[in-house]
Amino acid sequence: MENDIEKVLVDEQEIQRRLDGMALELEGDFPGEPLLVVVLLKGALVFAADLLRRMPRMLEIECLSVASYHGGLDSCGVVSFLDRELPDVRGRRVLVLDDILDTGRTLRAVVDRLLGDGALEVRTGVLLAKAKRRAADVEANYVGFHIADEFVVGYGLDYRGRYRNLPYVGVLGRAAR
Ligand code: IMP
Ligand code: MG
């Protein structure tokens, strides 16, 4: 698996250090109020697990399965909600976590849906944000790292379902695609 990685973009230590900072920021922004965290599967799994364990506060975790990418290199532009039932967000302050902000369609669709379902406020946090023009009008409130517009894997991000368990974020070599 490691041999397929052309270069490491954000190494394990950098990620862990940045998560310390993000957790502090979040603690400061949501002081003491009940917080509902919505984790977007499967990409945000690793990021959320490491980030939320740094937040010694009362919170609840819900997960949402959203498909937008279908495992390849390009987004198809349609966002579908795969769960039978969505979490009850009525009157709640919600933090949505995703792995990466790319076109922005996923976060836009999720934020709109949760607000439509009656959430009091929805903020968003991503491990990575690609530098590009977003197809949907959305930016994340909390960003771990800003990266160039290239395809990355690891730390939750996949290529055809693989590489999510790499402890760092890297660029996939041409041969592996
Ligand atoms: P968006 O809706 O285009 O912002 O895309 C968000 C989703 O596309 C993310 O949650 C990822 O699952 C996937 N994605 C976007 N860029 C990458 C990438 O570079 N590597 C792996 N997955 C990606
Ligand atoms: Mg994904």
Which atom of ligand 1 approaches the CA of 98 most closely? 10
Q: Which of 157, 160, 163, 169 to mutate to test the pocket of ligand 1 (most atoms within 8 A of CB)?
A: 157
CB 36 within 8 A of CB 93: yes
Distinct helix (H) and strand (E) counts, the chain: 3, 9
Hey, what CATH topology would domain 12-68+87-150 get?
Rossmann fold (3.40.50)
Ligand 1-lining residues (CB < 6 angstroms): 43, 68-69, 75, 98-106, 151-153, 157-158
Interatomic CA distance for residues 127 and 115, integer angstroms:
22
Edge-first strand order for the sheet with 5-10 is 5-10, 169-172, 152-153
Interatomic CA distance for residues 152 and 150, integer angstroms:
6
Interatomic CA distance for residues 50 and 69, integer angstroms:
24
Ligand nearest to the CA of 106: 1
What is the CA(121)–ligand 2 centre distance, in A? Answer: 23
Give one DSSP letter per residue of 76-124, joined into a string. Answer: -S--EE--SS----TT-EEEEEEEEESSSHHHHHHHHHHHHTT-SEEEE
Which atom of ligand 1 approaches the CA of 99 most closely? 10
Q: Whose CA is nearest to atom 20 of ligand 1?
A: 152
| Domain map (residue ranges) of the chain | 12-68+87-150
What's 173's DSSP letter? P
The model carries a pTM of 0.95
CB 142 within 8 A of CB 22: yes
pLDDT computed for residue 2 by the predictor: 87
- Per-position pLDDT tens, the chain of length 177: 889 999 999 999 999 999 999 999 999 998 877 899 999 999 999 999 999 999 999 999 999 999 875 556 666 677 899 999 999 999 999 999 999 999 999 999 999 999 999 999 999 999 999 998 888 888 999 999 999 999 999 999 999 999 999 999 999 998 888
Give the SS3 label for residue 56.
coil
Q: Which of 4, 10, 68, 73 to mutate to test the pocket of ligand 1 (most atoms within 8 A of CB)?
A: 68
